[in-house]
């Protein structure tokens, strides 16, 4: 689904590169987490995938095609919901379809379907101020889905939520992934969240410029339960990942 081939990148204002000769891949339908210390380059990877930045060298491929030759291959969900307060929930969800000039009748039909799926059908005519933080994130996810992209990029989507809401949203996200069969990459600072959600975890440990990301397979099958996090091998994995992150901070 996604492949980086020898990608190097440096921001113009920096003297040091962010990444150098980076290669990795994500298979179709996988749920993958990227973790690393603040400022290590996680969000830059998303910016490169989205085409907001261009690599200095190397190639980024989606379905074996250069992203420079294709459109609407990915959709981005940032940390904040970024809902427009003056638009109803239905109209917020319809935004990507409006931009794609989808007929109004089709917009309404698809918005109704996705709001039912995320459990917010009764809030279609409400406004963002009427929703809780978790509900707003569900609306933001629904809007991301309606971009029509097969690959979703989620940048710390639950970091601003309280602990219990974040736990509920993690379980909810797994159900959405199992229903829609999208390829999902998400950035998180929460090691436990990465373990609970992802099939594979990519971890950035090297100092800049980093040249590789270690890929770790989570030894859990789907569907997952919160109790799985108490298993001895999962506790050991969590401690190992935390140790790796601590070492990367000290570099």
178, 209: one domain? yes
Q: Are residues 108 and 137 in the same domain?
A: yes
Domain ends where: 148, 163, 182?
148
* Average of per-residue pLDDT values in the chain: 91
In Å, the largest CA–CA distance within the chain is: 55
**Which of 93, 127, 148 finishes a domain?**
148
Tell me the backbone φ, ψ of residue 171, rounded to 5 degrees.
-65, -40
Lowest-confidence region among 45-49, 169-173, 184-188: 169-173
Same domain, 64 and 171: yes
144 with 221, same domain: the answer is no
pLDDT tier for residue 250 given thresholds of 50, 70 and 90: low
Does the pLDDT of residue 226 top 60, yes or no?
A: yes
Please tell me the predicted confidence (pLDDT) of residue 251. 55
Could you tell me if 166 and 225 lie in one domain? yes
Q: Average pLDDT for residues 3-11, to the nearest whole number? A: 96
| Domain identity same for 65 and 113 | no
The CATH number of residue 26's host domain is 3.40.50.300
Alpha helices (H) along 1-132? 42-50, 89-99, 104-117
> Is 60 exceeded by the pLDDT of residue 71?
yes
> Are 11 and 48 members of one domain?
yes
Do 135 and 211 belong together in one domain? no
User: Are 61 and 164 members of one domain?
Assistant: yes
Contact 209, 10 (CB under 8 A): yes
Domain that residue 128 falls in: 82-148
Claim to verify: residue 101 and residue 16 sit in the same structural domain: no
HSE (CB half, 13 Å, CA atoms) of 181? Answer: 1
The pair of structure tokens assigned to 132 is 């809780």
The structure tokens listed for 158 are 């639950």
Q: Same structural domain for residues 163 and 246?
A: yes
Q: What is the DSSP string of 28-69?
A: TT-EEEEEESTTSSHHHHHHHHHTSS--SEEEEEETTEEGGG
List the structure tokens of 128: 């963002």
Band of pLDDT at residue 248, cut at 50, 70 and 90: low
pLDDT by residue (tens digit) across 34-69? 999 888 889 999 999 999 999 999 999 999 999 999
The mean pLDDT value for 1-11 works out to 95
- The strand pair at 31-36 and 183-187 is best described as parallel
CA dihedral 89, 92, 96, 97 (to 10 degrees): 60
- Buried (b) or exposed (e) across 138-175, using 16+ Cβ within 10 A? bbbbbbbbbbebbbbbbbbbbeebeeebbbebbebbbe
The predicted structure's pLDDT at residue 245: 87
Q: Compute the distance between CA of residue 91 and CA of residue 126 in angstroms, rounded to an integer.
A: 10
Same domain, 136 and 158: no
The pTM assigned to this predicted structure is 0.89
Angle between helices 163-180 and 133-145 (to 10 degrees): 20
Provide the 3-class DSSP secondary structure of residue 201. Answer: strand
Q: How far is CA 166 from the centre of its chain?
A: 15
pLDDT digits (tens, 9 = 90+) for 103-143: 988 999 999 988 988 889 999 999 999 999 889 988 998 89
Number of domains making up the chain: 2
């Amino acid at each position: 689904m996604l492949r980086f081939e020898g990608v190097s990148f440096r921001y113009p204002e920096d003297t040091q590169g962010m990444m150098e000769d980076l290669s990795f891949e994500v298979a179709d339908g996988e749920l993958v987490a990227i973790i690393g210390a603040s400022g290590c380059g996680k969000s830059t990877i998303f910016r490169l995938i989205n085409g907001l930045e261009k690599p200095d060298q190397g190639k980024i491929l989606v379905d074996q095609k250069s992203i420079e030759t294709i459109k609407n291959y990915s959709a981005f969900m940032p940390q904040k919901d970024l809902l427009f307060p003056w638009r109803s929930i239905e109209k917020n969800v319809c935004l990507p379809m409006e931009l794609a000039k989808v007929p109004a009748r089709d917009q309404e039909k698809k918005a109704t379907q996705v709001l039912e799926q995320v459990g917010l059908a009764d809030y279609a005519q409400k406004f963002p101020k009427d929703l809780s933080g978790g509900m707003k994130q569900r609306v933001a996810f629904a809007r991301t889905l309606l971009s029509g992209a097969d690959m979703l990029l989620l940048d710390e989507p639950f970091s601003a939520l309280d602990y219990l809401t974040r736990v509920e949203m993690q379980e909810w996200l797994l159900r959405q992934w199992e229903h829609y069969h999208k390829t999902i990459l998400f950035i998180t600072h929460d090691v436990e969240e990465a373990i609970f959600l992802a099939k594979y975890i990519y971890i950035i440990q090297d100092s800049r410029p980093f040249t590789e990301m270690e890929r770790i397979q989570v030894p859990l099958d789907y569907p997952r339960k919160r109790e799985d996090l108490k298993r001895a091998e999962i506790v050991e994995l969590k401690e190992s990942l935390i140790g790796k992150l601590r070492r990367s901070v000290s570099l």
